[in-house]
Homo-oligomer: A and B are copies of this chain.
Amino acid sequence: MKMNAYVAGVGMTPFGKHLDKTLKALAGQAITAALRDAGLQAGDLQAAWMGNAAAGVTVGQEMIRGQVALRELGIGRIPVVNVENACASSSTALQQACAMVTAGLYDVVLACGSEKLFHEDKLRSMGAFSSAVDVEDPRGALKVLEEMARAAGESFDATGAGEKRSVFMDIYSLMAKKHMKRYGSTKEHFAMVTAKNSFHGSMNPRAQFRDEMTVQQVLDARTIIEPLTLPMCSPIGDGAAAVVLVSERKARELGLRNPVRILASALVSGWDFEREGESVGALAAQQAYEAAGLGPRDLSCVELHDASAPSEIVAYEYLGLCAEGEGKSLIESGATRLGGRIPVNTSGGLLRKGHPVGATGCAQIVELTEQLQGRSGQRQVEGARIALAHNGGGAIGLDAAATVVTILSREG
């Protein structure tokens, strides 16, 4: 969808383990920071879209997560919509907020995502991920994966899924094996992704992991499920991120310095794409490029959904950063590293900045807004003008159940 909304302010908490903070406290911290960044007051907000994915499972809070968080900040009366789309929850919130502002229905709105995944009972954290697949499928997610593996001639051992690891790592394992077989990518290529993102994350004070890792260190780490070692999997995390959006009219009135505009945002829901040779990511990217009137060559930087290291390589291809099958060459070339042709995940990505699922979509917009405004410090992409965010969530088969691709530009 073609959009025309301005990012007036962004804010986020550090991502990590926040056992001492409630879900609403995390959201409140991000929203307060975003309002301050925008130079606006809580009372200026006309509507809010609040993304969260798992609080029903992790803390028992369903239904009114947004109202509960906003009330702490003195925000009431306005329309509040609680939005879910798994790991794409807050990019969905942003897409909805953006559409409403573009349509002229509001001048100042909030999109926010928050999540608390850490739980003293680790099974509860893992259960949160299992709630992002079709729980009513009588075969169960693992049975579906087994069938898919068999059809693809792959070995598949579900031992430990949903307990020792999120069921998503089983999905990524199969996806990675498929890519390795078809395009010759290797475990080394996946390790290169983590190494690169760890370099980026080492410069991000809000990242969950700040240590830089070599390719060898990534390869030597404990195996979660072949071909994934621990640092090739995004971690469990807590955190929140918020974006204040304004209309073009309001942006002028506020006299925004370094305005960042959202040009397009496409929300596409999952389908049995893997059976039809399509992908939800490719479809969302295609819609977003078309709406924005530009293509992958125009991008200065990208935040993409590296929930696993192979996910990043596969996404290079369907986002059009390289041709199909060339993802491995792109990571090898260094083009996606800071200083390269098209830096990817300068924040550290989900792998290193962290992945509190409902917060991830808005956190990508925080990173890209700061990049486009030239305030990313050590990890600044010089002269960044156009940026793309890609956020996928949930699973239908091996593909995402929801994907949002958003394109932003620096104006003036």
Q: Does chain B have a CB within 8 A of A78? A: yes
Asked if A136 and B100 sit within 8 Å, CB to CB, the answer is no
Asked if B60 and A84 sit within 8 Å, CB to CB, the answer is no
Distance in angstroms from A343 CB to nearest chain B CB is 29
| Cβ–Cβ < 8 Å partners of A270 in chain B | 64, 67, 71, 76
Q: Does chain B have a CB within 8 A of A402? A: yes
**Binary interface profile of A, 123-160, with partner B (CB < 8 Å = 1, else 0)?**
00001101111111000000000000000000000000
Q: A394 to B338, alpha carbons, bound, how many Å?
A: 47
Q: A134 to B64, alpha carbons, bound, how many Å?
A: 8
Asked if B85 and A136 sit within 8 Å, CB to CB, the answer is no
Q: Does chain B have a CB within 8 A of A311? A: no
Q: Does chain B have a CB within 8 A of A77? A: yes
Q: Does chain B have a CB within 8 A of A80? A: yes
Q: A76 to B272, alpha carbons, bound, how many Å?
A: 8
**Binary interface profile of A, 45-87, with partner B (CB < 8 Å = 1, else 0)?**
0000000011111011111111110110000111111111110
Interface size on A, residues (CB 8 A): 63
Asked if A67 and B136 sit within 8 Å, CB to CB, the answer is no
Given known A79-B269, A128-B62, contact A99–B105 (CB-CB < 8 A)? yes
Asked if B131 and A79 sit within 8 Å, CB to CB, the answer is no
Distance in angstroms from A113 CB to nearest chain B CB is 13
Distance in angstroms from A86 CB to nearest chain B CB is 4
Choose one: B71, B77, B267; the contact of A81 (CB below 8 Å).
B267
Q: Does chain B have a CB within 8 A of A39? A: no
Q: Does chain B have a CB within 8 A of A258? A: no
| Cβ–Cβ < 8 Å partners of A63 in chain B | 53-54, 84-86, 89, 131-132, 393-394, 401
Residue from A65, A67, A83, A103 having most chain B Cβ neighbours under 10 A:
A67
Asked if A84 and B82 sit within 8 Å, CB to CB, the answer is yes
Residue from A61, A128, A268, A396 having most chain B Cβ neighbours under 10 A:
A61
List, sorted by A's number, 26 A–B pairs whose CB atoms are closer than 8 Å.
Answer: A54-B63, A57-B60, A60-B135, A61-B131, A63-B85, A63-B131, A63-B401, A64-B132, A64-B134, A64-B394, A67-B270, A67-B402, A68-B136, A71-B396, A76-B269, A76-B270, A76-B272, A77-B269, A77-B271, A78-B269, A80-B267, A80-B269, A82-B83, A82-B85, A99-B105, A100-B103
